[in-house]
Amino acid sequence: MKILCVAEKPSIAKEVSKILSGGRFQVRNSQNKYIKNYDFKFSFPNQANCDVTMTSVAGHLINIDFPPSFQWGKCVPGKLFDAAVIEKVLKQDIFDNISKEARNSNKLMIWTDCDREGEYIGYEIFKAANKGNRQIEVGDIWRSKFSHLERNHVLRAANNPIKLDLKAVDAVSCRMEIDLRVGASFTRLLTEGLKSKSIIDKGDVASYGTCQFPTLGFVVDRYKRVKNFTPEQFWYIQVDLEKDDVKCNFNWTRGHFFDRLHVMNLYQECLKHKEGKIIKLEQRRTTNWRPLPLTTVELQKDCSSIFKMSAKDALGAAEKLYNRGFLSYPRTETDKFPASFDFKTIFGRQKSDPRWGNHATELFDNGYENPRAGKHDDNAHPPIHPVNYVNINELAADEKKVYEYVVRRFLACCCKDAVGQQTTATLKWGIELFTANGLMVTERNYLDVYPYKKWESSKQLPKFQQGDMVSIKNGVMKDGKTSPPNHMTEAELISLMDINGIGTDATIAEHIEKIVSRSYVVKQKKGKVEYIIPTPLGMGLIESFDKMHFDNISLSKPFLRKKLELSLDQISKGETTKETVLEDMKMLYRQAYSISNQNMVNLVDHCKTVIQANS
């Protein structure tokens, strides 16, 4: 029996070959210098001592496009909604290598990443294999289910193959076709319109994407809120007390008012009293929760805010660590560990590290807490966690930060929550109430291994007793002004995209990178914080589309893309079909295209006005 195994990346093919063969394999070159063919023996279920060839692709093998008669300049963009779609091989040498290796194979086994995109790449691999051997049929494909490259995990995946998920394949195919038709039609329409008024240069492209523009819309909306913000003055009362040489500030429970005269009247009533009374003294145990298990979105957000690393760079570093067997698969929505997860083995592998090894040893020797369980499970991969140990001094700068962060987060998940003692004193001065708080952290627990979260003891309150009469050392009426929101950070943008269903956990970074590369936004550093600011062109595009009336459709808001993502989930679950979703989404976007086309002159003129006003 001859088995052809195909992985999604060359590094995965090499690592899996080492594990399945016990290190005893032969290597053959292919026409592509990065793609190797590994030959060895392995016994699969009910198939002992099989001849195995393991090879790989390098991402997608096949793309979809329009025929030559529908290329740019050869048809009006609106025709692309119903034009034929053809497949094009992206990497012919890799495609041919799979076809050649399949000729003498009895079985095809897919080793692509276990997500929706991986299923589709697996189907592309099938097409290449089927071209070389028509006896290989899609229903007979073995599909390995794995999330990291630990030896026993890979062996279990080899010995328990599943079927290729054709519903997931349909979902990706649907998304690709919608993105092609909508993106190409609107991009051509926009580009030609903007060039006609010299808003963009002759060689430039003003691209539109169903994720790209809602992402840009979030940035523009925040920018406008900051720009249009008008500060308002407010007034409040603050009380300073001192007892036993300990000073503390009491804050007014009413907060503040925008009516100066009203606050002045209340303050005048307070001034009639020289003393205040501690009417309530509360002490309670308070908890600072350890973090939830790590998802892709949280990884990108934290790396952005903690290390000032772009989402693209953070995910790229995590993928390199995964490909080398150090981390689990970094594209996951799951924030709960399965009941069968082997925590102690992971602790044991981290015990030798001088930075966090003592914490791993403590958990290994003296027990650990079961991690908190979140509400999300993509039923494909566990949360991101360390798999094998590596000395971080051997890693590149970004990989070092990401690996240490993932390890410390994993260990923190298995520690106890931090505990503190919260004291709240309530002061009555006249008829007004004021409160002061003090915090004593009594058990740091997870905070000791997780330095990215700060929770410190605050200045302690004086030793008040309930019923104490205290002299008012300083009771003042103060004023302030409301502050504008900050501009958008990348971490905030990732959160907004995730909440609104713009892209997936795996593609969020790509969409942000796209609006940067198109010069729709720029990144600007203010102090230690980097913000994302729209360019005049980005502002002009969003404001121009917002000015149109699309009958409950918006091209700059997240609703249409969120509807598509929900529909793709329904395809994956078998609740609807690819054909139904395609027709539904094409109808909505075709309607928006028609309105945009009819109003293109007004759109371009308004865009130019906005650009000039913001330049």
Q: State yes or no: pLDDT of 551 exceeds 90.
A: no
Confidence tier at 615 by pLDDT (50, 70, 90): confident
Cβ-proximal residues to 282 (8 Å cutoff; 6+ apart), any chain: 422, 423, 424, 425, 426
Note the pLDDT of residue 553.
78
Q: Is residue 297 assigned to a domain?
A: no
* Percent of the chain with pLDDT strictly greater than 70: 100
495, 449 Cβ separation under 8 angstroms? no
Q: State yes or no: pLDDT of 47 exceeds 90.
A: no
Range of the domain at 66: 2-163
Q: Is residue 412 assigned to a domain?
A: no
* CA angle centred on 286, ends 284 and 288, rounded to 5°: 175
Annotated active-site residue 329? The verdict is yes
Question: Domain check: are 17 and 35 in the same one?
Answer: yes
Question: Domain check: are 139 and 14 in the same one?
Answer: yes
Show which of 401, 431, 451 is a domain's final residue. 401
Note the pLDDT of residue 550.
77
How far lies 543's CA from each of 136, 347, 534, 538, 558, in Å?
53, 53, 12, 9, 15
Structure token pair of residue 122: 């697996």
Q: Is residue 132 assigned to a domain?
A: yes
Q: What is the mean predicted confidence (pLDDT) over 293-314?
A: 95
Q: Is residue 299 assigned to a domain?
A: no
Helix (H) or strand (E) holding 282: strand 275-288
Q: Is residue 409 assigned to a domain?
A: no
Q: What is the mean predicted confidence (pLDDT) over 423-427?
A: 96
Question: Domain check: are 12 and 151 in the same one?
Answer: yes
Show which of 145, 163, 181 is a domain's final residue. 163
Q: State yes or no: pLDDT of 514 exceeds 80.
A: yes
Q: What is the mean predicted confidence (pLDDT) over 457-467?
A: 90
Q: Which of 123, 208, 236, 329 is catalytic?
A: 329
Q: Is residue 407 assigned to a domain?
A: no
- Global pTM reads 0.89
Q: What is the mean predicted confidence (pLDDT) over 294-301?
A: 96
Rounded to an integer, what distance in angstroms lies between the CA atom of residue 193 and that of residue 171? Answer: 33
Q: State yes or no: pLDDT of 379 exceeds 80.
A: no
Structure token pair of residue 595: 């309105």
Rounded to an integer, what distance in angstroms lies between the CA atom of residue 318 and that of residue 320? Answer: 5
Note the pLDDT of residue 305.
94
Note the pLDDT of residue 380.
77
Q: State yes or no: pLDDT of 352 exceeds 90.
A: yes
Q: How many Cβ atoms from other residues are within 10 Å of residue 613's Cβ?
A: 11
Rounded to an integer, what distance in angstroms lies between the CA atom of residue 386 and that of residue 363? Answer: 15
Note the pLDDT of residue 186.
96
Question: Domain check: are 83 and 214 in the same one?
Answer: no
DSSP letter at 186?
H
Nearest to 20 by CA among 43, 1, 48, 37: 43
Nearest to 322 by CA among 299, 342, 340, 341: 299
Phi and psi, residue 52, nearest 5°: -120, 135
Q: State yes or no: pLDDT of 245 exceeds 90.
A: no
Q: What is the mean predicted confidence (pLDDT) over 70-82?
A: 94
Question: Domain check: are 517 and 600 in the same one?
Answer: yes
Question: Domain check: are 53 and 98 in the same one?
Answer: yes
Rounded to an integer, what distance in angstroms lies between the CA atom of residue 426 and that of residue 421? Answer: 17
Count of structural domains, the chain? 4
